[in-house]
Amino acid sequence: MDITVAVDAMGGDHGAHVTVPAVLRFLDRHPDVNVVLVGLPDALETELRARKAGIGPRLRIHPATEIVTMDESPQSALKNKKDSSMRVAINLVKSGEANACVSAGNTGALMATARFVLKTIEGVERPAIAKMMPTATGGETCVLDLGANVDCTPEQLLQFGIMGASLVSAVQHKDRPSVGLLNIGSEEIKGNESVKAAAELLRASKLNFHGNVEGNELFTGTVDVIVADGFTGNVALKTTEGLAKMLAEFLREEFTRTWWTKLLAALAWPVLSHFKKRVDPRRYNGASLLGLKGIVVKSHGGADQMAFYWALKQAVTEAQSGLIQRITEEVSGQLADLAARPDASTAAVAP
């Protein structure tokens, strides 16, 4: 099945200078994908001409007259930028002209606009930002929420667990992905009241609930899905990004300290090159806005061409997997099952 992706070509720190060449590279390697570049036509045509490319059967331009800036408030973007490249791209998903949307634009504005235009799946109170993280086992763990919802109820954390498990099942083809709840300890007595109540709901659900996991298990591959509120998840994400940058800088400094260490660096280049590729954060670019009635993938605002390429790949993979239908069915089924249990309150599991 051919997939059509609507790209907010003006979003992010670099706009069309990154999105257009990334799209051209992606189209060259994926003949079953079509792309709609959404943005200022003159700017997009200039970028295409600079790369000796043009529109065709698999690539077209859809005009938009406004751009959401990276520092613009979600309220302003939603109220005042109704013809922004971001909103027009999301509208194409709503109308069915595109199967997914990818944007490197303002995260808050993207979430607010996507939620307003697409609405949430029945049974989902709030969408969550989910991202695949590399693990020491060579696999990936889905972590959510990464910043969309600072404060979460136990019921919302349960919904995140269902959506995360659905995502892993869809894109990694795992029947019963394991789910962990990020906490300050593995014991059941640990955590605040909201987290402990969420653990009870997760344990009572049909999910393959592993139990609590700690921050040092983010990259061990202990579980397939890690659930957290947006505050905790975002702090964990930014901490790991900062640590990765620091370690990379330490390595660069040590290998360039003297002529001898430079020689050692040259000898170790094959190993260093493989290591860099294995942990390259660009290969994990693309966070999914789960819980919406449409696929929206958020690229890092500072993404380069390779990183945006991987965000496109994430969107296409989700569209091909039937993710929205899977989440819809799982949320409906899981919440109905919990509500039907004699020891469960309907109010406790239904939004």
Share of the chain above pLDDT 70, in %: 97
User: For the sheet containing 287-290, what is the strand order?
Assistant: 59-63, 33-39, 3-8, 100-103, 295-298, 287-290, 128-134, 140-144, 225-227, 178-182, 208-213
pLDDT in tens, 35-67: 999 999 999 999 999 999 988 999 999 999 999
Orientation angle between helical segments 16-29 and 41-50, nearest 10 degrees = 60
Q: Which amino acid is at 215?
A: G
Sign, CA torsion 142/228/190/206: negative
- Cβ neighbors of 130 (< 8 A, separation 6 or more) are 142, 143, 144, 145, 146, 163, 164, 167, 287, 288, 290
pLDDT in tens, 172-217: 999 999 999 999 998 988 989 999 999 999 999 999 999 999 999 9
Query: Can you tell me the distance from the alpha carbon of 80 to that of 89, in angstroms, rounded to the nearest whole number?
Result: 16
pLDDT in tens, 315-336: 999 999 999 999 999 999 988 8
Name the pLDDT band for 351 (thresholds 50, 70, 90).
very low
Query: Can you tell me the distance from the alpha carbon of 202 to that of 179, in angstroms, rounded to the nearest whole number?
Result: 9
What does DSSP say about strands 140-144 and 208-213: parallel, antiparallel, or unpaired? unpaired
Joined tokens for residue 190: 């640990």
Joined tokens for residue 181: 């709840």
Higher pLDDT, 8 or 349: 8
pLDDT in tens, 235-265: 999 998 888 889 888 988 999 999 999 898 8
- The overall average pLDDT reported for the chain is 92
Residue 269 pLDDT: 85
Q: Is the pLDDT of residue 348 over 70?
A: no
Higher pLDDT, 86 or 191: 86
Query: Can you tell me the distance from the alpha carbon of 247 to that of 293, in angstroms, rounded to the nearest whole number?
Result: 39
